[in-house]
Amino acid sequence: MNNVIELRSISKEFKEFSFDSIDLQIKQGYTTGLIGANGTGKTTLIKLIMNLLKPDEGEVRLFGLDYATHEKSIKDRIGFVFDSNIFYESLKLKDISRIIAPAYTQWDSDQFQAYVDRFELPLNKPIKHFSKGMQMKASIALALSHHAELIIMDEPTAGLDPTFRRELLDIFQEEMLNENRSIFFSTHTTSDLERFADYIVLIDQGEILFHERMDELQEKYVLVKGSNELLDRDTEAYFVHIERTQNLFQALTTDPAQVQQVFGEYVVLEKASLDDIMFHMKAAHRQQLNK
Ligand SMILES: Nc1ncnc2c1ncn2[C@@H]1O[C@H](COP(=O)(O)OP(=O)(O)OP(=O)(O)O)[C@@H](O)[C@H]1O
């Protein structure tokens, strides 16, 4: 199976944040969601993948190609949606599409017009007068109009109303009917991922905590609820992380069979949502970092 994105031993250091030799391989033909709390490195990772930032060390490859020698052909195959307006603000959408079109070998003006109509976007209004949601829609229309093999998006559903968010997910699903296409995107809306992601990458403080199949994730992680009296040094070891309230605890385990055997009917086991998994994994990681 081909990797559309490959990061090898990537290090990048800012004053108060760093990636330290991270590896990541994203497979062709799947939708991968990138999740993590605010400021954990999602945008930085996407910028490294897009060559908008250079790593201090390590190698970034897209479609097996290197930016140093194949920047133009790599960018030609990517549809990129960024979380802020990267276009000159006085320009109109009509002008932007005219500027962008020649940069892509497979620019499809009919496709672009179809998205403009579907998203009800004005072609003759300066981008600076677009609402945040309209800017995002414009960015998505441009990204989806040159038959890109790989669609990379930084929080594409941010600022969108729930009805359009839903429509957008349908559009991404339509795009994925082409089996060679891949989508990689960051989001804080985990319910979007539960609906259509194949893989999830969770990052925290510049570290990749996991990269797992969505369906396996939901089998692997289970939420356990019970009374605090059940917890002691030995039993706590069955959990990835424990959240205590006054009398009760809620914890995440990767070994539900063992938990059931040890605690029997004294605990309740529930399916963990992506939010639950993210919350407990992040808390466990922070505890580890503070040790
Ligand atoms: N150019 C830069 N110089 C210094 N620090 C930076 C730079 N860019 C990002 N950072 C820092 O790197 C960290 C990660 O930022 P990043 O924008 O990647 O997070 P994020 O996960 O996308 O956050 P959010 O979910 O809030 O969008 C933050 O602490 C940020 O302040």
Closest ligand 1 atom, CA of 36? 21
Q: What are phi and psi of 78, to 5 degrees?
A: -115, 135
Going by alpha carbons, the residue nearest to atom 6 of ligand 1 is 14
Q: Which of 10, 11, 14 is the best mutation target for the ligand 1 pocket, counting ligand atoms within 8 Å of the beta carbon and taking the most?
A: 14
Q: Print pLDDT tens along the chain (291 aa).
A: 699 999 999 999 999 999 999 999 999 999 999 999 999 999 999 999 999 999 999 999 999 999 999 999 999 999 998 766 566 678 899 998 898 899 899 999 999 999 999 999 999 998 888 888 888 889 899 999 999 999 999 998 887 888 888 888 888 888 888 778 999 999 998 888 988 899 999 999 999 999 999 999 988 999 999 999 999 999 999 999 999 999 999 999 999 999 999 999 999 999 999 999 999 999 999 999 887
Q: Which of 10, 12, 13, 17 is the best mutation target for the ligand 1 pocket, counting ligand atoms within 8 Å of the beta carbon and taking the most?
A: 17
Q: Which of 20, 42, 152 is the best mutation target for the ligand 1 pocket, counting ligand atoms within 8 Å of the beta carbon and taking the most?
A: 42
Going by alpha carbons, the residue nearest to atom 7 of ligand 1 is 14
Give the 3-state DSSP-derived string for 239-258, with helices as H, strands as E and coil as C.
Answer: CCEEEECCCEEEEEECCHHH
Of 182, 131, 186, the closest CA to residue 155 belongs to 186
Closest ligand 1 atom, CA of 206? 14
Residue count (the chain): 291
Ligand 1 centroid to Cα of residue 231, in Å, is 37
Of 61, 83, 198, the closest CA to residue 143 belongs to 83
Looking at residue 90, its pLDDT comes to 81
Q: Could you tell me if 10 and 58 are in contact, meaning their C-beta atoms sit under 8 angstroms apart? A: yes
Ligand 1 centroid to Cα of residue 141, in Å, is 26
CB atoms within 10 A of CB 115: 20
CB atoms within 10 A of CB 113: 14
Tell the residue number behind the tokens 């004005």, with chain if given.
122
Ligand 1 centroid to Cα of residue 136, in Å, is 20
Of 203, 202, 200, 204, the closest CA to residue 192 belongs to 200
Q: Could you tell me if 173 and 114 are in contact, meaning their C-beta atoms sit under 8 angstroms apart? A: no
pTM exceeds 0.90 for this model:
yes
Looking at residue 87, its pLDDT comes to 64
Going by alpha carbons, the residue nearest to atom 29 of ligand 1 is 39
Going by alpha carbons, the residue nearest to atom 31 of ligand 1 is 39
Q: Could you tell me if 124 and 94 are in contact, meaning their C-beta atoms sit under 8 angstroms apart? A: yes
Q: Which residues of 52-73 are buried (b: 16+ CB within 10 A; e: fewer)?
A: ebebeebebbbbeeebeebeee
